[in-house]
Structure 1
Amino acid sequence: MKLLTTTALVAITATAAAAEGWKDDYQVLKFGILSSENEKDRLMRNEPLRGYLEETLGVEVEIFTAGNYDGVIQALSANQIEIARLGSSAYAAAFTATDGGVVPTLTTQKMDGTTGYYSIVVSRCDSGIKNLEDAKGKVHAFADPDSTSGYAVPYFNMVTREGFKPEDYFGTVTFSGSHEAGVTGVVNGTFDTAATYQNNAVDGIFQRMEEKGMIEPGQVCTIWESPEITSGPWTFRKNLPEALIEDVTAAIEEFPTADLEGYKLYSSWTVEDPNPDTGFVRVNAERYNWIVDMRAWIKEQRRSGS
């Protein structure tokens, strides 16, 4: 019995050491964030999380940014970063690029328990464009080819639900490069309409731009909204140690309660939002299979020219 107890103790000690062992090989963790807003604001909003993870995990944590979505996806695929907060479509792109070599673990949950948001199309309120019918023949901007709400979902819905192919329907179709750039282009008259996202009527890209003083309130109006989109996941490389994935996932999961003020900055919390982000919930790859299939459909449409 004594031998069994000693053996069990050794096994437990070895397991604990193995769990901590990933830190020997990963003394620096890098997480990527997408280019939905300008780099200064991206870094500012994510700094509380970076600092919290560094202190909690006991390793150096760095934020990785790129000029477009594909830069973060390629960094994840090339083992240059360990983790990325991706939109659903960007996750699907990473899943495809790595032949399934990524693991989604968490997504954002709101106060009412929902885990989704919406793609919208916006125009200047004074443009006379009140719906997609009014936008026919106009200049339309999608955000980025790897954006869920800024490209994949609106494109898919325009073809399958609205009954038109954007390239044939609009006078010009282009990519703005980011959600903020699309909204700015609408305000400045570069684009007649642009695809972006919002969580609800008071919380989205153009509403945040109004709050930050980037655009004047009342200039931008929503002319179309998609069905609800599943929020994108925190995504890890599958070739990382399981203990690393679990430890980092658990730390992110606890961030909203461990540092409430930091989480409010990270999540762009405002007192006016009736349904703010409140934390994270666990997800798996199955949740995003429809997004992978949608991207494959879009790719086939491009290839066939139909």
Structure 2
Amino acid sequence: MELQQLEDSGLGLTAETVERLFAPYVAFETGPSDKMWRAEVARRARKVEKRFWRRTILGRLPHLGRTAPKIEEEYNEVWDRTALDSYKIPSEKKGRLPWLWRDKRYIAHRFGGARVRLAVLMQVIEQLKPASVLEVGAGNGVNLLYLAGRFPETQFAGLELTAEGVRAAQDCQQQWPEFPEELLDFSPHPLRDRQAFRHVDFRQGSAQELPFADGSFDLVTTVLALEQMERIRKPALREIARVTKGHVLMIEPFRDVNRWGRRRRYIISEDYFSASIRDLPRYGLQPIWATADLPQKAQMQFCCVLARKI
């Protein structure tokens, strides 16, 4: 499938809106020839090269790959450390990474990308108007907590592999009487109901065996979650197709935008998702549109792909 420019994708997002959402997380903006930006990309690429050759030489040995126990162990620590108040619009530019978009280059915080991806989710839900939405790989629940407040009439559920991710989301539901004022600015659009997040159904489980009946949801979403599921890619995609009765939105590092060079080496070194968009019909999903025209980390890119169930 041909990747579309942002304005042609049907998302309803403009370049000006994306820049506005990303801007608070930018330490500085520059161009492709900036020496500091290029040096930071090169430094990170050298680390990737070491991991890439280690995996290439030793092959897909079980103890080197992203198995479910390893992913669960790693992300239990991540979600234990990532409190939801981390999503406040930052006053300090910490945790900075090299990013690029069109002819621009940035050093920016990773939560800038998370904010833009949340905007994509909101736009798709606004257009499709699903009665029910499942996020597979919901992490600490941040996307669903915001989405529920924006779309209180929609039933939301989240499936997460890690106990710490589910605990983090449920702790927010139990401890917050309403969505905190200091976190509202992160949302790309105003929340319509600051108590709706308390009704999201969070469950622990694996994507290769979703605990839902066939056709349970109008829309299923994944946001850099299939990224971690290369070793269970086939059953996970089949399960996602099984439980949707309408559409699937995937924001993932498809091979289409990580085919060559340092990006491909990074995918291989991390044992990340490597399917192409053209592979989706074999799992029961027909792509409708796809775009990668959004701010991206320099070392790996993602596509937003909307598909319908075949």
**TM-score (normalised: structure 1):** 0.32
**TM-score (normalised: structure 2):** 0.32
Greater Rg, structure 1 or structure 2? 1
* Greater relative CO (CA pairs within 8 A, separation 6+): 1
